[in-house]
A and B are shown apart, each in its own frame.
Chain A
Amino acid sequence: MTTDRELMHRVAQKDEQAFAELANRYSARLLTMAWRLLGNRADAEDAVQRALLRLYLSAGSYRSEWAVSTWLYRVATNVCVDEIRRRRSRSSLQKAVHEEAGDGQGLLFPWGGGAAPGPAQNLDLHRALARVPLEARILLALRYVDGLSYQELARVRGISVNTVKSQLARGKMILRSALTDRRRRPRTAVRIGKGAGE
């Protein structure tokens, strides 16, 4: 099988077949990562396309000391993160409108609208993930979609290995406490008085 690096060098020479092969190798993992970060398939596909396009156009500046996967994840997370920034500025506008109208949509669906998290997904986990700060959430996604090592994660986000470790630990701690909270207090139950469910 052709290695990623060989394909990448062919992509730099505008070889579309090599590009298609490389893209096919990573599309499922990139799509999943983007989907979990952005919350819906349409936006995720859009982000993956943009990332792949970037890969094709800037293949010339690829340097072989990078693992292709690391480089590709860097490009893809960059695209997703900017999409999230755009949404935040949009949702701060929307929230203002909703608050005026008196409904709390923005608070219930922090990922923006009632976007479905995907088929047969763990809704509790999805909600808990929304509480994890963005940078930690990205690291979790990369770590669990493709099992990237701490070193690779550090390279993808341009941070130190120690920051990766502390962010992952913090992310999991928030998840654990959010999930524990939720199970003690079922969503459907109305809390009366203090200490319900303890």
Chain B
Amino acid sequence: MTTRTFSTHDELENSLIVHFRPVPAATDLVRRTLDGLRDDFRPERFAERVQVEATERGISMLSPGGQARPPASQASKRLAAKAREELFEYLEGRRSFFSVPVDFSGMPAFQRKVLERTYRIPFGETRSYARIAQEIGNPRAVRAVGTALGRNPIPIIVPCHRVLRSDGGLGGYGLGLPMKTRLLGLERSTPVLEGCATTGIVCRVGCPDAMRMREDSRVVFASVDDARSVGYRPCKVCRPSDATLS
């Protein structure tokens, strides 16, 4: 029996044309988009009034208002300023990671364990309180995990907003639930990997080298391998391939 070729050139071409034939969008799609614009929440405003304290080892406190203690040294002053800058970029959707270190040393042992684990949840992902409890080896301490996160002295940078209830509910948040929803929404609409069309380099969003990229050079990728498949190479500064392994 001869082998028949089932998908001839024309057949494939035709089914692709049918498959990709435009379907009309809902009539209110544009109106809904415009409604999204009326949202008066401006993350930049939050970034302007935020107070940051740092030790020489890293950021130790972040609070949306109130007074920060004066920095103890030049090094801690620099760290606090850097954190504020990165926070601003993060809230504007231009950063997917924080490079400033965090100082966990002043915390009680249990809270420290919880926060150190939470600190490693990747951008845009979420975990449940139960899973955090399990991962720190205390599977029954779900409520205690919630309490420890509720007292997180460094919200946003230690991303306690990425911890949700097992049933998908929001749980609680020190800066208020509306803020938790905003942050989760922000991470949903901020890409993690972007390539520069002129240099052919792919970076993590927020890489100091990528900050110089022109708006019309930005191309988003889903993985470093995808970027490689069309001729991009990973950046040597922010090392995106290491980041996506976590």
Interface residues of A (CB under 8 A from B): 16, 19-20, 23-24, 27-33, 35-36, 45, 48-50, 52-53, 56, 58, 61, 63, 66, 71, 74, 77-79, 81-82, 84-86, 88-90, 118, 121-122, 125-126, 129, 133-136, 140-141, 144-145, 155, 157-160, 163, 167, 172, 175-176, 179-180, 183-184, 198
Contact of A159 among B31, B33, B188, B230 (CB under 8 A): B230
Can you add 4 more A-B contacts, CB < 8 Å, to A71-B216, A88-B222?
A: A27-B30, A122-B18, A135-B229, A179-B12
Q: Which residue of chain A is the closest to B188 with respect to CB atoms?
A: A86
CA distance A183 to B219 in the complex (A): 37
For residue A16, give the distance in angstroms from its CB to the closest CB of chain B.
6
Q: What size tier do the contact residues of chain B reach?
A: 35 or more
A-B contacts counted at CB < 8 A amount to 152
Please tell me if B70 contacts chain A, counting CB pairs below 8 Å: no
- 23 contacts across the A-B interface (CB closer than 8 A): A20-B31, A20-B34, A23-B30, A28-B25, A36-B19, A78-B191, A81-B221, A82-B192, A82-B220, A82-B222, A84-B222, A90-B125, A118-B23, A121-B19, A133-B229, A135-B226, A144-B17, A158-B200, A159-B230, A163-B230, A172-B12, A183-B7, A184-B6
Label chain B's interface by main secondary structure. Answer: mixed
CB <8 Å contact, A31 and B230: no
CA distance A13 to B59 in the complex (A): 40
CA distance A90 to B189 in the complex (A): 16
Label chain A's interface by main secondary structure. Answer: helix
Q: Which residue of chain B is the closest to A56 with respect to CB atoms?
A: B37
Known: A20-B34, A63-B216, A88-B222. Contact between A145 and B230, CB under 8 A? no
CB <8 Å contact, A85 and B37: no
Please tell me if B73 contacts chain A, counting CB pairs below 8 Å: no
CB <8 Å contact, A45 and B26: yes
CA distance A79 to B196 in the complex (A): 16
Q: Which residue of chain B is the closest to A29 with respect to CB atoms?
A: B22
Please tell me if B122 contacts chain A, counting CB pairs below 8 Å: yes
Point out the residues of chain B lying under 8 angstroms from A172, CB to CB. Answer: 12
Contact of A52 among B6, B30, B195 (CB under 8 A): B30
